[in-house]
Amino acid sequence: MAPSNISHRQTHNLLLISKLLSLRDTASPLTLLLDSLEQPATPLIKEYIRRARLSKVHVTLIAFETLKPFDGVDAFIPARRKSPSEMLKEVGAVDSSVASNSSNRRRLILIDSINPLLHSTRLDKSFHLSTFLSSFIVPSGPAASKIDSSLVITFHQDVPGRPAQSPYAPQPLTILTYLATTVIKLHSFSHILAQKAARDRSLVPPVFGLAEEQDGVLLGRLDKPIGKDSAEGGVVLEMEYRRKSGRGVLEWYLLPPASRYPATQVKEVVTLLDDHPLYRPPEEVGFADGEEEPESTFELRLTERQRRDREGVVLPYFDAQQGSGPGEGGRILYDMGEEDDFDEEEDEI
Amino acid sequence: MPSQLALPHLLTPYVVSPPKSSLTVVSSVLGATGNWLVLRFLYAALGNSPVSHPGYGDPEFETRKKRRVVLVSFLRGWEFWRSEAKRLGLDLARLTEKRQFAFVDGLSELFSAPSASSQPAPKPQHYPGAGIAPRATLPIRSQPVPTLLRQPLPASSGSDGASPQTVREPGPTKRLHFAGSGLAALDTIEKEITMVIDELKTSGPGEDEDEPEILLVIDQPDFLLAATGLSKGIGATEMGEWVMGLQQAVSATIAMISADSPLIHNGSTFAHQAATPLDTEHAAFAVGLAHRAEMIMQLRNLETGAARDVSGVLRVSKGGAWGQREGAAENWEEKEVLYFVQRDGSVNVFGRGE
Amino acid sequence: MSFRKRNIGVSSGVDRTPVPNSSTQPQTATQSAPSTPGVRPSPDDGRPTTSTGSPSLDNLLAGHGGMPIGKLLLLEENGTTDFAGALLRYYAAEGVVQDQKVHVIGMPEQWGRSLPGLIGPAESADEKSDRRKSERMKIAWRYERLGEFGAGVAGARAPAGGTGDQVSSTDSSQPTQPAFCHAFDLTKRLTHPSIGNMSYIPIRPSNEPLLVSIQKKLEAAIASSPPNTVHRIVIPSFLNPTLYPPEVSQPENVLPFLHSLRALMSRPASRITAMITLPLSLFPRSSGLVRWMEILSDGVIELCPFPHSADALSTSGAATSHEEPPQGMLKTHRLPVLHERGGGSDQNIGQDWAFTLSRRKFEIKPFSLPPAEGDQEAQDNARSDKMPKKADLEF
């Protein structure tokens, strides 16, 4: 790839993730975070909240599995044993209070885990995931039109879902990924590095945690895999962004651990994964210029005449390769002696 | 000497003082059960010798007063926990009397039909010769045999006032019943457990006025899910919410669940085998709990097969909820160790190759 | 061996009594023996145990030398053979002989009539000691030192006995004491005065769910028997669709039943043991339901019979040509008491077991592959007279 191309991609995609995470211009009304036990979404959610505070965005957390609100959450709505309509009502109530406070026009709604809702036995037939979600983004109230809401939903990929009532209907996850304007899949950086190292050696990439399918193993993550330093504590974001035009953007980013930067930092902290020195080590000097050949004392090239002469050479025993005659071609006739260590698999004679 | 054996120092940072409003998941498999680990949690909370370790929650917890523990057990009876705790030097019966400990029995009568509950309530010590049918009292005479066999000299158990009364233990305070179906049935159970919790909270005349810290230990809530299932309107979400409801009533929760391969992997997205609803629900519940846990202690068998001096492998990992609390002091790290439960109940914990 | 010796002292020290085991044991034995024949304290921790009817299974159970009272053993069997059924019959027959109350679930009375005939304790003990003498030089030297398999457990923990098998030593040294375990002959029929005392709980449709009604009948039967009775619950071929209606195998039926059974057995006053066999071909271990049944059981033992055609394999599995070839492998997934406490520390753990069912006994031995076929020299060497002595010197 040409250097100019890379830098263009860098600036463009970094601007994009910055816009997405800071909820600017309602770039993505519905963001889906796909996490797993190996890499929970907590760091990313905290990053969302941090940026929301910086830009004074109102944060609502609909908690299906969190008992205590995170720091920086303005409205905390426990969803335990609540029906979808009750939840909507509570969110709407917060809505109107936000609207009355005119300084605040943007709003972030976080759902800490959508799985319990999808897995609930209490959902009746009238529940439609798409209507439920869109009613957060496009509230029906009169005051609501002033507020730009962004919805960020976490889905635990490793929690198995129940087979759908109708085998022909799409699975909830399919619906979610279809509806979402941005899908961010989270990976642990150390796992990505381990998998890359394996691929670079043409080995089967390792799997971790539940994917190991080992008896009794829920989680494979360990703080300090042997011989690694804390530089790998980041979270890798595999982002897929669907533009309004329909064109998608795919990019891998790295979110460094929160302890690396102050909570008030405005400058972008996310980098491209490809720019990380551990993921793509800087290439060695000397090979940088593509066209030039390595210097040596030998002349490796042939002149035209040398080439012609070379083609004209008839190799010895060329005739023997015809495969006729007593010796049957070029076969070597040899009697095994006692001292010969004959290996059948090695040299097929 | 039991105190020294009871809490191996490698284990101490993980079992002492789970942080406030946290969930700790202990997962076990068929051949590597977690009862010994639960007993260590009990010991860390109730034991006599002060454990001088900051614990994995806030360091300030150390200075606080002792915790109280509610143990809800679905698979094991009072007798088991009492005798096993005794091996560690914990007299659960005495602690129950002192209202530092409460046992909620989810085994004895969980599924007994209402008619069966009128049958001999197996607490003959309390109603000696009460007016139940003569058949009902029959166990009394056979009672001394097991007790005597198990502890021939109860008075020598070390605790000063181990009078015969404490040996004839007061028994579990509460027995759970599962009746009906769906949320109502779960609510009843939840209510019964929170009643026990509240009793323990309010008790303690003459003690410091602030509410005591209650540690809730739930032994295999996943059984409740497996034994009821979707046909009774109980799924993984409902069970998860049930645990959440209990969590709100206490300061820290420890849940013991099964993580055997068929129960976790059949239902998982990586499965190659058709999963039954039981598998799916269990996996959803267990993995969901793991997402909500701050710490997960996974017990499993040695990969290389059973060994005589190793009982299993313990891996301590950060759960999905780790890092959600602000300013969570990071005074424990993920670790994988081997453990060995000896015949006398003491436990060795050591690293691989040590 | 020093390792095990140390354990004796420790296990008795913490919660029970500072008196060493050697003095406690006779005491407890005299307490329990007269009141209930067939029940003896475990050499490991003194809890009451009863025999499963086959000595080698008794010895497998984590050093207790029998089945601890209040425990439930799940026997799983692959394939269509019925080795587990044979074990179950020994178990039931032992109960009948010991005047315990045997409850059979799901089988007609014919099942009780087909129990194996009693040979008697003395005969079996004699046979055993004879066998041991005659085999002294034949058994591979490593196992020869172990004596009758599992005797090491009992021997090491009962310092008074010290010489070999617990069963035979109690029989011979104290003739007044009733036998703990008997020998049976599968080709004969058991005739015993108390055989009519067995109770049968048939599978009969009622307005209640089947397992609930079985549970109730069981509880009633146990409540109505005289005090101090030791009960045995026998459930052959559990969930087998030829016996049980299909809805029984729903988890919401099976698991509460097993849970209630567990509750019933763990009551401090009751003295019950139970043994269940489960056909694994119908209910594979890889299913969550079976795993829950295993978690609810105190002991889980899996039998994997060798296929019939594998004659070559089965003969090669015999340690020497003089032994009977094993008929299958036996796996212990969980042992009563031991695994509830956390597992480990059992000398039988980590062994590969093979079983042999003969007319007179169900024998469980360590499974070992002999020297390679045709290596006659090595096999002869292993059996030669000099080897055992050398081994004794070395170890």
Which ipTM value was assigned to this complex? Answer: 0.81
Domain positions in chain C are 2-394
Provide the mean pLDDT of chain B. Answer: 77
Contacts of C30 in chain B (CB under 8 A): none
Domain with A253, as residue range(s), is 3-275
Contact across the interface for A119 and B235, Cβ inside 8 Å: yes
Contact across the interface for A119 and B260, Cβ inside 8 Å: no
Burial of A298 (0-12, 13-18, 19+ CB in 10 A): exposed
pLDDT tens digits for range C39-61: 888 888 888 999 998 888 998 88
Residue C3 is predicted with a pLDDT of: 43
Could you give the percent of chain C with pLDDT greater than 70?
A: 64
Residue C62 is predicted with a pLDDT of: 79
Nearest CA in chain B to C68: B146
Of A11-25, A69-83, A108-122, A332-346, the least confident: A332-346
Contacts of B352 in chain A (CB under 8 A): none
Q: Which of C150, C88, C61 is nearest to C337 (CA)?
A: C61
Contact across the interface for A219 and B298, Cβ inside 8 Å: yes
Q: Please identify among residues 115-174 of chain C the ones whose CB lies closer than 8 Å to any CB of chain B.
A: none
pLDDT higher than threshold 70 for residue A331: no
**Residue C328: which H helix or E strand, with range?**
strand C328-334
Contact across the interface for B76 and C340, Cβ inside 8 Å: yes
Give the model's confidence band at A69: pLDDT under 50 very low, under 70 low, under 90 confident, else very high. confident
Tokens describing residue C26: 């006779």
Residue C12 is predicted with a pLDDT of: 36
Provide the mean pLDDT of chain A. Answer: 81
Nearest CA in chain A to B246: A67
Comparison of pLDDT for A162 and B204, the residue scoring more: A162
Residue B35 is predicted with a pLDDT of: 93
pLDDT tens digits for range C87-137: 999 999 999 998 899 999 999 888 988 899 888 764 444 444 444 444 444
Give the model's confidence band at C283: pLDDT under 50 very low, under 70 low, under 90 confident, else very high. very high
- What CATH number does residue A84 fall under? 3.40.50.300
Is B238 an 8 Å CB contact of chain A? yes
pLDDT tens digits for range A96-125: 777 776 566 788 999 999 999 988 887 777
In a domain, A284, yes or no: no
3-state helix, strand, coil in chain C (%, to 5): 40, 15, 40
Residue C309 is predicted with a pLDDT of: 53
**How many CA atoms lie within 13 Å of C89's alpha carbon, on the beta-carbon side?**
27
pLDDT higher than threshold 80 for residue A237: yes
Residue C177 is predicted with a pLDDT of: 59
Of A221-225, B274-278, B307-311, B333-337, the least confident: A221-225
Distance of CA C232 to the CA centre of its chain: 13
Comparison of pLDDT for B220 and A306, the residue scoring more: B220
Whether chain C lies against chain A with 3 or more Cβ pairs closer than 8 A is: no
Distance (Å, rounded) from C-alpha A280 to C-alpha A283? Answer: 8
Nearest CA in chain B to C254: B227
Distance (Å, rounded) from C-alpha B286 to C-alpha B281? Answer: 8
Residue C32 is predicted with a pLDDT of: 40
Could you give the percent of chain C with pLDDT greater than 90?
A: 28
Q: How many CB pairs under 8 A join A and B?
A: 163
> Helix, strand or coil for residue B66?
coil
Comparison of pLDDT for B56 and A197, the residue scoring more: A197
**B217-251 CB burial, b ≥16 within 10 A, e <16:** bbbbbbbbbbbbbbebbbbbbbbbbbbbbbbebbb
Can you list the alpha helix ranges (DSSP code H) found in chain B? 2-6, 12-15, 35-46, 78-87, 92-97, 114-117, 139-142, 144-150, 164-167, 182-202, 221-228, 236-249, 261-264, 277-292
Average pLDDT of the residues in A78-93: 87
pLDDT tens digits for range C357-372: 888 888 888 887 766 5
Give the model's confidence band at B338: pLDDT under 50 very low, under 70 low, under 90 confident, else very high. very high
Residue B152 is predicted with a pLDDT of: 39
Average pLDDT of the residues in B291-317: 88
Residue B148 is predicted with a pLDDT of: 37
pTM of this structure = 0.80
Of A262-271, B185-194, C25-34, the least confident: C25-34
Contacts of C228 in chain B (CB under 8 A): 138, 141-142
In a domain, A147, yes or no: yes
In a domain, A254, yes or no: yes
pLDDT higher than threshold 80 for residue B125: no
Residue B49 is predicted with a pLDDT of: 57
Distance (Å, rounded) from C-alpha A195 to C-alpha A232? Answer: 13
Provide the mean pLDDT of chain C. Answer: 74
Tell me the residues of A at the B interface, defined by beta carbons under 8 Å apart.
35, 37, 40, 42-43, 46, 65-68, 70-71, 80-81, 113, 115-117, 119-122, 156-163, 210-211, 213-224
Residue C373 is predicted with a pLDDT of: 57
Residue C4 is predicted with a pLDDT of: 42
Average pLDDT of the residues in A293-302: 67
Domain positions in chain B are 2-115+153-350
Nearest CA in chain A to B251: A67
* Residue spans of beta strands (DSSP E) within C264-323: 272-279, 299-305
Q: Which of B130, B122, B78 is nearest to C219 (CA)?
A: B122
**Residue C68: which H helix or E strand, with range?**
strand C67-68
In a domain, A160, yes or no: yes
Neighbours of A230 (CB within 10 A): 10
pLDDT higher than threshold 50 for residue B104: yes
How many separate domains does chain A show? Answer: 1
Comparison of pLDDT for B319 and A263, the residue scoring more: B319
CATH number of B2-115+153-350: 3.40.50.300
Is B28 an 8 Å CB contact of chain A? yes
Residue C5 is predicted with a pLDDT of: 42
Comparison of pLDDT for C290 and C187, the residue scoring more: C290
Contacts of B233 in chain A (CB under 8 A): 121
Decide: A118 and A161 in contact? Cβ < 8 Å: yes
Average pLDDT of the residues in A166-191: 89
Tokens 């190659």 -> residue: B272
Q: How far does C32 lie from chain B, in Å, by closest CA?
A: 7
Average pLDDT of the residues in B125-135: 37
Contact across the interface for B33 and C45, Cβ inside 8 Å: no
Three-point CA angle B188, B191, B196, nearest 5°:
130
Q: Which of C119, C144, C122 is nearest to C132 (CA)?
A: C144
Residue C187 is predicted with a pLDDT of: 87
Contact across the interface for C341 and B35, Cβ inside 8 Å: yes
Give the model's confidence band at B224: pLDDT under 50 very low, under 70 low, under 90 confident, else very high. very high
Residue C391 is predicted with a pLDDT of: 42
Residue A49 is predicted with a pLDDT of: 92
Average pLDDT of the residues in B298-319: 87
Contact across the interface for B322 and A42, Cβ inside 8 Å: yes
Contact across the interface for B343 and C290, Cβ inside 8 Å: no
Residue C209 is predicted with a pLDDT of: 87
Tokens 């299958």 -> residue: C328
In a domain, A282, yes or no: no
CATH match for C2-394 among 3.40.1190.20, 3.40.50.300, 3.30.1360.100, 3.90.1170.40: 3.40.50.300
Residue B328 is predicted with a pLDDT of: 56
Nearest residue, CB atoms, B27 vs list A115, A117, A216: A216
Residue A346 is predicted with a pLDDT of: 66
pLDDT higher than threshold 90 for residue A34: yes
pLDDT higher than threshold 50 for residue C7: no
